[in-house]
Structure 1
């Protein structure tokens, strides 16, 4: 089994890769995928912490999995809103460049 520090290094590196994708890329699809990567890194950390420190909580060892389900629900809502924004941007400017968002008005 992996130690908690190994898992935390993995989640931190996944989160940093996601931050790089959000900040450096201009394609809105890549930005949305990077946000999902960041949320999945948080999910992995929650499951790891729940496994290590879960016996003192109300839900026992399953507290990390419960929080992960809540984060997945938020991620699904974020993806739906992001894809609907993508559709609006594509219909208006026929491009999926994030820089076009500064020209939105009204």
Structure 2
């Protein structure tokens, strides 16, 4: 087997994942795109491990570590996305600009739906 076949496939997978990260607005789809990119890296690691005939199988070992890190990343990422969706009602990344810190010198805005705002709305 030539090394070019898995390398081209990995490059295509990585390109699709990169496009998904840059073009998508939904946080879940961005996480899926990151997983595609990690899988492209895993494919390269295993392909080069087979091509080099490494006796320690370092590429396969690194692939297992990458899979473990990716599983933890997806678990934490999905938990954050679900919590944001519960609080905000959307997982759209453009609408999450409110989570950024306020620039120095500006007064912090009160959260939406405070008791004072509710009293003003009913008066």
What range describes the TM-score normalised by the shorter chain of this pair? 0.7 to 0.9
User: Equivalent of 1:101, from 96, 101, 112?
Assistant: 96
Per the normalisation by structure 1, the TM-score is 0.88
Is residue 67 from structure 1 mapped to residue 62 from structure 2 by the alignment? Answer: yes
Q: 1:63 Cα shift?
A: 1.8
**Which protein is richer in helix relative to its size?**
1
Where structure 2 has 5 or more consecutive residues not aligned to the other structure, the ranges are: 102-123
The reply to whether residue 89 of structure 1 matches residue 84 of structure 2 is: yes
SS in 1 for 2:49: helix
* Equivalent position of 2:3 in the other structure: 4
What is the alpha-carbon distance in structure 2 between the residues aligned to residue 6 and residue 65 of structure 1? 18
What residue in structure 2 maps to residue 42 of structure 1?
41
Runs of 5+ unmatched residues, structure 1: none
Query: What is aligned with 2:17?
Result: 18
The alpha-carbon deviation at position 34 of structure 1 amounts to: 0.4
Deviation of the 1:75 alpha carbon = 0.2
RMSD (Å), alpha carbons: 1.4
TM-score by length of 2: 0.76
Asked whether the 8 Å contact 1:12–1:41 carries over to 2, the reply is yes
Please report how far the alpha carbon of residue 67 of structure 1 lies from its aligned counterpart in structure 2 after TM superposition. Answer: 0.7
Could you tell me how far apart the structure 1 residues matched to 2:96 and 2:51 are? 43
Q: Following the alignment from structure 1 to structure 2, what is the Cα–Cα distance between the partners of residues 15 and 105?
A: 29
Distance in 1, matches of 2:17 and 2:53, equals: 27
